[in-house]
Homo-oligomer: A and B are copies of this chain.
Amino acid sequence: MGLEGRFDEAAGVVRVGDDARQRYHDSRGYGYPLEGNEIALAPVEAAHLLFRGDLEAVVDDGGERLDFRTFVAREPGRKFGVRFLVYADLRSRGFYLSPAAEPWLADPPGGEADFAVFPRGKGPGDGEVEYALRVIGERTDIPADELADGVLAVVDEESDITYFDVSRREPSGTSEASLPDRCEADLLADRVVVWEPPLDLYESAFYGQPLEGREYERPTLQCSLLEAAYLAARGAIDLDPETVRERGRSVEGERFDRRLTVYTTLRERDVVPKTGYKFGADFRTYADVESVENLGHSELLVRVHPAGYVFEPRDLALDVRLAHGVRKTMVFALVGESGGVDWWSLERLTP
């Protein structure tokens, strides 16, 4: 026979007495203890106990007896629907989780986190948090400056849930290569042709793409404007760097400068960026290029955004799904006003 709870609407919690502490809190990680054997439940916790039939009913301040349907219809609490769905999903996967707030937790995760998820087999009393979890609906935009280490759960319009592992990801590599001196080059529309540079510019440093096969000792290379701007700034080709950058801006707008910042930062970290166009990204990257002949798999797909960018969950789903499908990690490079770059990776996660 289940217990009844009392809905304290002002406090936004459901209080349950009798042996609730032992039955729900101590053994199964719901709520936080009050005096005696009473506990307080967050609305999602109470809804879950109602849903499972563990709690018989919740009685509101006016004395009305609520079952699962009528309790849920009140949408008790901010983002109730999506938070409940994620709470129930993780519970059904065998995890305990608490609202990311005191007094559920002595030291709750900050930021925009909704829940603290405990390691499998652990609960709120064990002092260990596996990750902070943020829950959003697929129509909720996420400003880039709200990205935080942890897990992001996105509930789609049909109530399926996708989990993303969000973490900082600093690219670094070993693809160092020396550059030639002032090779002849022509700027043509939105690309640059470098006429018969030393083979190493392509074969070791991996700039450009040969105009025809690789059978020549000094293949003529087609370079992107980004590659050319970088090479020109280092004196490796005989074009004026500012002319190349101007052309970049004229065909791409301010996006060109952001992408050049990221391109340059990656090259300075000895990572080779090549175009990510075929994957709809800005770059794919190779950390350890020894030669193009023996090129490994590219590891990252990089998308460049300004630091103030606001993500749409659907675009995140698309990027991360595609990256996963081609065995790469999706990385977002957020470029600040002063030219600093923040790197975040998002990967699909199955809890």
Seen from chain A, the residues whose Cβ lies within 8 Å of a Cβ on chain B are 51, 69, 72-73, 75, 80-82, 85, 88, 92, 137-139, 154, 156-160, 162, 186, 188-191, 193, 195, 208-209, 211-212, 222-227, 251-252, 274-275, 277-281, 314-315, 317-319, 321-322, 325-326
Contacts and interface: CB of A to CB of B under 8 A. Distances in A.
A202 to B, nearest CB: 12
A190 B139 contact: yes
Contact of A208 (B158, B208, B226, B274): B158
In the assembly, how many copies of this chain are there? 2
Contacts of A188: 72-73, 75, 81
A252 B313 CA distance: 13
A343 B340 CA distance: 43
Contacts of A223: 158
23 contacts: A72-B186, A72-B188, A73-B188, A75-B188, A75-B189, A81-B189, A81-B191, A88-B212, A92-B212, A157-B191, A157-B226, A157-B275, A157-B277, A158-B208, A158-B227, A159-B209, A280-B322, A318-B318, A318-B319, A321-B322, A322-B322, A322-B325, A325-B325
Given A252-B139, A322-B322, A277 B190 contact: no
A275 B325 CA distance: 19
Given A69-B186, A139-B190, A225-B157, A318 B275 contact: no
A85 B32 CA distance: 68
A135 to B, nearest CB: 13
B321 A279 contact: yes
Given A139-B251, A314-B277, A159 B321 contact: no
A39 B223 CA distance: 34
A281 B156 CA distance: 12
A315 B280 contact: yes
A275 B160 contact: yes
A275 B156 contact: yes
B157 A317 contact: no
Nearest to A92: B212
A239 to B, nearest CB: 13
A318 B315 CA distance: 10
Nearest to A224: B157
Nearest to A81: B189
Contact of A158 (B92, B195, B222, B318): B222
Contacts of A251: 139
A23 B278 CA distance: 38
Given A322-B322, A325-B325, A209 B160 contact: yes
A318 B319 CA distance: 8
A226 B80 CA distance: 20
A159 B73 CA distance: 56
Given A80-B189, A188-B81, A189-B81, A317 B279 contact: yes
Nearest to A282: B314
Contacts of A157: 190-191, 224-226, 275, 277
